[in-house]
Amino acid sequence: TSMIAAFSIAPAGPDDTGSYAAAVAEAVRIVRASGLPHETNAMFTNIEGEWGEVMAVLKQCVDAMTAGGVAG
């Protein structure tokens, strides 16, 4: 069963320059690389696919915000 998820994600704090941009850009890169239908707008990123596919992409985005990711 296909689903659409809308999400917004950012790290808990900014990088050394006081910016969130690199981490957010990494999340958008992950979504684009997934190959799933998606749209990024002013509030959310929407992604469409099967439950497991969508949740795997969201997990990658969350992981990118943690200590091992871009914002770590």
Phi, psi of 42 (to 5 degrees): -65, -25
Single-letter amino acid code for the residue at 24: V
pTM, two decimal places: 0.82
pLDDT tens digit at each of 72 positions of the chain:
799 999 998 888 888 888 888 888 889 999 999 999 999 998 999 999 999 999 999 999 999 887 544 444
pLDDT of residue 1: 79
- DSSP state at residue 71: T
pLDDT of residue 36: 98
Distances (CA, A) of 41 to 4, 66, 69: 14, 23, 23
- DSSP state at residue 31: H
Distance CA(69)–CA(39), nearest Å, equals 23
